Structure 1
Amino acid sequence: MDYVKGIFKARPNRFIAEVEVDGNLEIAHVPNTGRCKELLVKNAIVWLKPSDNPNRKTKFSLHFVENNGVLVSLYSQQANSIVYDAVVEGKIKELLGYNHHQREKSVDNSRIDIYLENSNGDSCFVEVKGVTLIIDGEARFPDAPTERGAKHLRELIKLKKEGNRCCVFFLIQHPAGEFFRPNWENDPIFSQTLNEAYAEGVEILVYRCDNQLSGIELIPEPLDFDLGKSLTNRIVDN
């Protein structure tokens, strides 16, 4: 099904947006619980996926927003699928050599996004985070405090101490992102926990995706990161 072009008007709450489509005001589901304030600004061009479910409360889902001439993917859960498909297709060099691939592995009271295992029984847990906030070319996560995100990091630390390989995978869903840094200003707890995880041996992988209305693909070139605080705070906006 093709995307429908719309004009963003307002976001009454984190789950829905008011958008103008062909001169009519429509309600669209926002599949991203982040703030996205620098992206969802009034009159921004958005791209909507229509729903054919007659029981749904919203007629559309908001998948993309145009920002500085590029498409930014707001479908945060899609990040998991993009990374999983890239692992299976051998596009992520750090995650080659695994012949068992599984989505959503339950561990204690958490679910880790991707579980990998090789023929020797060696395991790897991968937690995926989609990133849309860009400040001076730096991709920052999270754009709003996330207790759940910090919980996942603590779970990875525990798994690493038990002898497993563990990774946090930051997928930059905004083409302007060239580098990754945790968002100390918005969530110092997550940022500090990420530092602790890295010190314990949890790996950090950063990649970017190519967003097109015809499809989204991971670009198989890793990006650098810095876990310290930044001195700049200029947000990329319209």
Structure 2
Amino acid sequence: MKCKFIEAKFLRELKGRFLCEIDIDGNIELAHVPNSAKLSKYIEIEDKNVLVVKNENPKAKTRYQLCAVETDDNHWIMVNLNLLNKIIAEYYEDNGCNVQKERILSDTYKSDLLIKDKNGEQIVCEVKGIIANTKDVIFPMYSGERTVRQLEYFRRLLKTQRFSVKYVFVLLDNNIEVIYADKLNKEFVKHMRYCIKKQMQIEFFEVEIQDDSISAKKTVEKKFII
């Protein structure tokens, strides 16, 4: 997808969630951080070069949205989780699929994407963004209650055989190599193993950031160990 990136310097995260200060050509600006977690918990961010875009919503509280952070080895880590579903949907559309975004399938579950492939198969697609500056990552990173509820729904859905399910990991830092299931989260492990046994597909995508675009690229070089 096309993006009009603006280069800036990250100054600091603010106490309130979703806000940070950036420096654009010597001017200090507020920017929206489209990520519910404090980024400094996962990556080094202070005084880093960042990419931002202008907020298109005239009612937005900030003029800019944070998109990506440059690392010490000069590659970009995507931090804008609002773009995840868009770039994954674009990938499947470019590969001949029909994609619906945020389709409500039950009282308890709204799919990130509902895909109809070239053969007419309907696929529920759950998209998970993985942010870290390490090669190995534990998932889920938080308590995982919502993730467990989703897997419980996928168990029921897979039994009906009306839909297939894709569980998509989007690696926001392409240096991530292995995702380990959190063994302490026994409910997550139990339901994940069941869903995989029932043919739920695990897929990995990397994020490609160019001068004026951001896109998803499928990769088979990563591992999920459970």
* Shorter-normalised TM range: 0.7 to 0.9
- Equivalent in 2, 6, 9 of residue 3 of structure 1: 6
> Do the aligned residues in 1 keep the contact of 2:183 with 2:189 (CA within 8 Å)?
yes
Aligned residue runs from structure 1 range 182-193, under 5 A = 182-183=181-182, 190=188, 193=191
Deviation at 1:84, TM superposition (A): 1.2
- Pair 1:217-2:215 in alignment: yes
- Structure 2 stretches lacking a partner, 5+ long: none
Match of 1:166 in 2: 165
CA separation in 1, counterparts of 2:183 and 2:19? Answer: 27
> Do the aligned residues in 2 keep the contact of 1:103 with 1:114 (CA within 8 Å)?
yes
- Equivalent in 64, 83, 90 of residue 85 of structure 1: 90
CA separation in 2, counterparts of 1:190 and 1:19? Answer: 38
Letter in 1 for 2:24: V
Deviations 1:21-63 (A, max 9, x none): 3334322111111333232532222222122544321121111
Query: Runs of at least 4 residues of structure 1 off by over 6 A?
Result: none
Distance verdict in 2 for CA 1:57–1:87, change over 3 Å: same
Deviation at 1:139, TM superposition (A): 4.5
CA separation in 1, counterparts of 2:210 and 2:189? Answer: 31
Equivalent residues, number = 219
CA separation in 1, counterparts of 2:57 and 2:188? Answer: 37
> Do the aligned residues in 1 keep the contact of 2:8 with 2:50 (CA within 8 Å)?
yes
Distance verdict in 2 for CA 1:207–1:119, change over 3 Å: closer
**Secondary structure at 2:222 match in 1:** coil
RMSD of the TM alignment (CA)?
2.6
TM-score normalised by L of structure 1: 0.78
Distance verdict in 2 for CA 1:220–1:125, change over 3 Å: same
Question: Identity of paired residues, percent?
Answer: 21
Match of 2:128 in 1: 129
Distance verdict in 2 for CA 1:33–1:146, change over 3 Å: farther
- Equivalent in 26, 50, 74 of residue 79 of structure 2: 74
Letter in 1 for 2:147: G
Deviation at 1:14, TM superposition (A): 2.7
